[in-house]
């Protein structure tokens, strides 16, 4: 059976809240999905998942250090994530504060790993973005993204 994981780093809870909504939506859409803080995940844990969703607060327009470390650690099995579904999301403090560049940084790493990324022509195009704590708009985007990731993953399997 296909499986997904949502991995996040969060100091003040905003990214974690997005992660929990996306996870719930993926499960409701029929893809069994775990939700883990990046501190609980080892790089080779990723091998057992078909969809890997990564969320980071925006730190100076980029992913936070622990998320970057996770990507650096996958070099030990480079190529083995080829064909898995990837997605990203981010919380920042400001509009124009770099949340989309953060998402694109995560997506770039996923593309180098060979992962499949699904854009969204109507919702948040690159992945859900929040200004601090998720409001109702962001929660809708997280639910929508979770559903789309689950549907794509099931289709590819």
Q: Which of 2, 43, 45, 61 binds ligand FMN (CB under 6 A)?
A: 61
Residue nearest to ligand FMN (CB): 97
Applying CB under 6 A, among 60, 72, 75, 108 the residue interacting with ligand FMN is 60
Nearer to ligand FMN among residue 39 and residue 76 (C-beta): 39
Query: From start to end of 22-149, where are the E strands?
Result: 32-37, 51-57, 85-92, 116-117, 129-131
- What phi and psi, each to the nearest 5 degrees, are found at residue 90? -155, 150
d(CA 97, CA 109): 21
d(CA 77, CA 57): 26
CA atoms within 13 A on the CB side of 64: 19
Please report whether residue 65 would count as binding ligand FMN according to CB under 6 A: no
Element (H, E) at 55: strand 51-57
How many residues in the shown chain lie near ligand FMN by CB under 6 A? 19
Sole residue written with tokens 């992962």: 115
Residue span binding ligand FMN (CB under 6 A) among the ranges 54-62, 76-84, 117-125, 146-154: 54-62
Q: Which of 7, 23, 57, 128 binds ligand FMN (CB under 6 A)?
A: 57
Tokens of 144: 């929508």
Contact string 7-36 vs ligand FMN (x = CB under 6 A): ---xxxxxxx--------------------
Q: Among 47, 75, 93, 111, indicate the residue that binds ligand FMN (CB under 6 A).
A: 93
Tokens of 156: 């590819």
Q: Considering the rule CB under 6 A, would residue 94 count as an interface residue with ligand FMN?
A: yes
- Give the binding site for ligand FMN (CB under 6 A): 10-16, 57-61, 91-94, 97-98, 132
């Amino acid at each position: 059976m296909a499986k997904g994981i949502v991995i996040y780093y969060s100091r003040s809870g905003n990214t974690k809240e997005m992660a929990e909504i996306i996870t719930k939506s993926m499960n409701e859409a029929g893809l069994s999905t775990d939700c883990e803080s990046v501190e609980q995940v080892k790089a080779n844990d990723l091998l057992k998942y078909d969809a890997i969703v990564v969320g980071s607060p925006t730190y100076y327009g980029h992913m936070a250090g622990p998320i970057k470390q996770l990507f650096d650690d996958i070099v030990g099995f480079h190529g083995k994530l080829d064909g898995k579904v990837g997605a990203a999301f981010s919380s920042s403090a400001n509009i124009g504060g770099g949340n989309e560049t953060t998402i694109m940084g995560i997506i770039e790493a996923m593309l180098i790993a060979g992962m499949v990324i699904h854009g969204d022509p109507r919702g948040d195009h690159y992945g859900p973005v929040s200004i601090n704590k998720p409001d109702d708009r962001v929660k809708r985007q997280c639910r929508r993204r979770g559903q789309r990731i689950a549907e794509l993953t099931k289709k590819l399997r």
